[in-house]
Structure 1
Amino acid sequence: MEENRGNILIADDKPDNLRLLSRILTDEGHKVRKVLDGNRALDAAQLEPPDLILLDIMMPEMDGYEVCQMLKANKRTQAIPVIFLSALDDIEDKVKAFSVGGVDYITKPFQKEEVIARVKTHLHIQALHRDLKHKNSLLSEEIEQRKVVEADLKRALQDLKTAQEQIIAREKLASLGTLTAGIAHELRNPLNFIKNYAEGSIELAEEIKEEIEGQLQYVNSETASSIREILADIKENAMTIRQHGLRAAQIISSMMQHARSEVGKFQLTDLNSLLADAINLIYNSKRVQHPGFDIAIETSYDSDIGQIDVLPSELSRVFINLIENACYAAQKKRDKMGEEFAPKLSVKTQKLGNKVEIRIRDNGMGIDTETQAKIFEPFFTTKPVGEGTGLGLSIAYNIVVNQHGGILKLETELNVYTEFVIILPLQSRSASDRDTGNTWKGESTLSEASLTIEAS
């Protein structure tokens, strides 16, 4: 709309008034439409909303007040300014006109200059309102866009910060992994000597005992008893040295596995069968080690998964570690609570688009918040001294995340449950690697602790 030029609707039951007003406004450059009653005014305003309405009050069937009220009740026409035209000059009529939504009031007989001035004023006000509304809309859009950009920027900065932290951690752990592998390698030979000489000392103690047993009858009983105690102490000490040597060898073996870079070939593998084999292995092993061991096992295997591209031997190590930990946790809770507690292991697989999810859950004691933050760190363990190396979950994380490009996360609630969730791509590495016989080298690092907590 040009400045102060508008689309004006005039409603008056007097044709002479319509012609006069139309000529005045047309001469000023306005587009004018004319109707003779209220119903037609409503239809015309609804069909093509004007910029301004000049509305007579005294009309047949529907007066101007009623027409104005209906205009203001309609969302399409409620913002159109209405100037009342009337021969009524009482203050009550003017007040009523403003109360039903009118913006101005022109009394008949009207003056040309007055009509032009009032129309010009309200068209200008209407134009300002529209411009303000448009600018508010643009401002709102700009605010929303800035919010989106700000949110994206925050995410980008957070991702950058996370990436930097991971790079720093990875570099530190790479150095630590190399150092660990070197130390472990250097310690192997001394530990083998310790273990072998301890075993030799045990055998020598037995041989000495057998050799002198027949001679002890010729010495007094107190001396014989003392000799037997010394030999028993020597044997016990040697057995203790051997036991701790084996323990140290186990830790070193785990460290070497953790730091190694070469893994096997990716193969199409029946994931459900691999998981079932790991369950059977751990269950039977536990039954042999602890005859009283028992745990209810619930499995739910998604048959749609079929075969997926994985490193079967490496992934089997992950399953065995997580299932063994689950059985251990559930049994510890039974030891604490007694016969009324029933240990339970739940294992579930599910195909999720181009990925597969494995959930391994126990109803043990759960994991507290402080421990959750450390659970995947190398050498961290909640088991008593001698029962765990603290490398199992760290190795599992390395296999799932670094070797398979998957996700390993923990969900837990203290005193209720612990659940490890593994998410793997259906095809972890390119099929060409498998077809050509290429192997993939994993990172030779102690994997950084990465944990997603979804616990209450």
Structure 2
Amino acid sequence: MIFLSALDDPLDKVKAFEVGGVDYVSKPFQMPEILARVETHLKISRLNRTLVQKNARLEQEIERRQQIEDQLHEALDNLKQTQAQVIAREKLASLGSLTSGIAHELRNPLNFVTNYAEGSMEMLEEALQDLLLPANALSLESVDEVRTLLVDVKENANLIHAHSKRAERVINTMLKQARSGDYEVQSVNFNMVLMDAVNLAYYSKRAQDKDFNIIIEADYDDAINQVEVIESSLSRAMVNIIDNALYAMDLKKGNTPDFKPKLTLRSRSLGDTVEVRVRDNGIGIHLDVEDKIFTEFFTTKPPGQGTGLGLSTAASIIVGQHSGRITYTTEPNTFTEFIITLPRTHAKRDRREK
């Protein structure tokens, strides 16, 4: 609304603006001025309408993008849940495979225990028969025979004890593997953890293929002794790395009839750190995938044979949980060697003591 008035008092102008006027023109009127003012206000009105429309569209776009962002967050949450489920299933599958290997490894000591126990029972029965004879009927020969039987029973008992301890160690190793939420830092016999990991991975592979055989060359540095680690996690990492080596050698064996698989493990004490080298003479790692092998869910295995979590989990445990380092060297179709370096003292325990 534009006021055209003969009144030019400032109060009259104020009243005009108070009732909704946008301009005020007093006499004498100049038509060009009035037209210019009208045109200006029309432009302002058009610009205001355009601004309102654009604001409305902007609000719609903001709402649309907010919906997209909400959907993206939901998709990411679903992806994380799916990844967690895949990791859990992979761990269960891995534990199932390890269980088969454990059953295979337990069979030998349990067979020894059974056989020695049965033999001991027979010898004790024989000795008991001699001892039930009247004292005057016992000959020196019978006494010597009883003495020999008791010595044999004692030897059998020692062997039963040794193989029982071996079975106990195997079971304890398996239990440590199954403890997914156990992150307690412990001082452990480092070389023993490596040996148990080799046995777990190897017997697991043997449970899947009874014809799978390899040469294992181990050189463990006794100077390492105790190292502070999260034992269940480190064991899982080493099993994953060794399992990867066994797979590479098995693949090469399938294509090379005269091939002799060889796994080499070496541990070294390096002062405040320890080093482990795991080397296989399998298919190696090709150049085009070298920068991806520690990537979660990346795998070169056929569908159904791997989820791509083995090496990524191992790297996460070594680097993330133990402040260590994992690298490798490789030559396609010749070898792969993983080099793991760990501090002797775990950072978590250092912080707690401070």
Q: TM-score, normalised to structure 2's length? A: 0.51
The count of aligned residue pairs is 195
Deviation track 1:205-228 (CA, whole Å, cap 9, x = no partner) reads xxxxxxxxxxxxxxxxxxxxxxxx
Specify whether residues 369 and 183 from structure 1 end up closer, same or farther in structure 2 by C-alpha distance, changes over 3 A only: same
1:401 aligns to what? 319
1:181 to 60, 74, 80: 80
1:333 aligns to what? 252
Please tell me whether the aligned partners of residues 266 and 434 of structure 1 are also in contact (alpha carbons under 8 angstroms).
no
What letter matches 2:201 in structure 1?
Answer: I
Q: How far off its partner does 1:428 sit?
A: 2.1
1:373 to 288, 291, 308: 291
Structure-2 separation of matches of 1:181 and 1:319: 25
Pairing of 1:3-152 with structure 2 (within 5 A): none
What letter matches 2:250 in structure 1?
Answer: Q
Structure-2 separation of matches of 1:371 and 1:288: 29
Q: How far off its partner does 1:288 sit?
A: 2.0
What letter matches 2:319 in structure 1?
Answer: V
2:261 to 317, 338, 343: 343
Asked whether 1:308 is paired with 2:227, we answer: yes
What letter matches 2:196 in structure 1?
Answer: D
Q: How far off its partner does 1:262 sit?
A: 6.2
1:136 aligns to what? none
Structure-2 separation of matches of 1:432 and 1:374: 33
More helix by share: 2
Asked whether 1:383 is paired with 2:301, we answer: yes
Deviation track 1:292-319 (CA, whole Å, cap 9, x = no partner) reads 1100000000000011110000000011
Q: How far off its partner does 1:434 sit?
A: 6.9
Specify whether residues 283 and 182 from structure 1 end up closer, same or farther in structure 2 by C-alpha distance, changes over 3 A only: closer
What SS is found at the alignment partner of 2:347?
Answer: coil
What letter matches 1:296 in structure 2?
Answer: I
Structure-1 separation of matches of 2:341 and 2:75: 28
Asked whether 1:280 is paired with 2:199, we answer: yes
Specify whether residues 383 and 431 from structure 1 end up closer, same or farther in structure 2 by C-alpha distance, changes over 3 A only: same
Q: How far off its partner does 1:250 sit?
A: 2.2
Structure-1 separation of matches of 2:331 and 2:249: 14
Specify whether residues 320 and 264 from structure 1 end up closer, same or farther in structure 2 by C-alpha distance, changes over 3 A only: same
Specify whether residues 290 and 434 from structure 1 end up closer, same or farther in structure 2 by C-alpha distance, changes over 3 A only: farther
What letter matches 2:80 in structure 1?
Answer: A
What SS is found at the alignment partner of 2:253?
Answer: helix
Structure-2 separation of matches of 1:176 and 1:268: 42
What letter matches 1:337 in structure 2?
Answer: T
Q: How far off its partner does 1:382 sit?
A: 1.2
Please tell me whether the aligned partners of residues 297 and 308 of structure 2 are also in contact (alpha carbons under 8 angstroms).
yes
What letter matches 2:329 in structure 1?
Answer: E
Please tell me whether the aligned partners of residues 264 and 311 of structure 1 are also in contact (alpha carbons under 8 angstroms).
yes
Please tell me whether the aligned partners of residues 266 and 433 of structure 1 are also in contact (alpha carbons under 8 angstroms).
no
Structure-1 separation of matches of 2:266 and 2:236: 17
2:89 aligns to what? 250
Q: How far off its partner does 1:435 sit?
A: 7.2
Asked whether 1:418 is paired with 2:317, we answer: no
Structure-2 separation of matches of 1:178 and 1:399: 23
Asked whether 1:264 is paired with 2:163, we answer: no
Q: TM-score, normalised to structure 1's length? A: 0.40
What SS is found at the alignment partner of 2:250?
Answer: helix
Please tell me whether the aligned partners of residues 182 and 232 of structure 2 are also in contact (alpha carbons under 8 angstroms).
no
1:293 aligns to what? 212
Deviation track 1:140-171 (CA, whole Å, cap 9, x = no partner) reads xxxxxxxxxxxxxxxxxxxxxxxxxxxxxxxx
What letter matches 2:298 in structure 1?
Answer: F
Q: How far off its partner does 1:419 sit?
A: 0.8
Q: How far off its partner does 1:410 sit?
A: 1.4
Structure-2 separation of matches of 1:378 and 1:395: 8
Structure-1 separation of matches of 2:92 and 2:326: 23
Cα RMSD after superposing both structures: 2.8
What letter matches 2:184 in structure 1?
Answer: K
Structure 1 regions of 5+ residues with no counterpart? 1-174, 189-246, 255-260, 437-456
Structure-2 separation of matches of 1:279 and 1:176: 40
Deviation track 1:431-451 (CA, whole Å, cap 9, x = no partner) reads 356779xxxxxxxxxxxxxxx
Please tell me whether the aligned partners of residues 357 and 423 of structure 1 are also in contact (alpha carbons under 8 angstroms).
yes
What letter matches 1:415 in structure 2?
Answer: N
Specify whether residues 303 and 390 from structure 1 end up closer, same or farther in structure 2 by C-alpha distance, changes over 3 A only: same
Structure-2 separation of matches of 1:178 and 1:346: 42
2:103 aligns to what? none
What SS is found at the alignment partner of 1:423?
Answer: strand
Larger Rg: 1
What SS is found at the alignment partner of 1:332?
Answer: helix
2:243 to 304, 308, 324: 324
What letter matches 1:313 in structure 2?
Answer: S
2:271 to 341, 353, 357: 353
1:452 aligns to what? none
Identity over the aligned pairs, expressed in percent? 42
1:21 aligns to what? none
What SS is found at the alignment partner of 1:319?
Answer: helix
What letter matches 1:364 in structure 2?
Answer: G
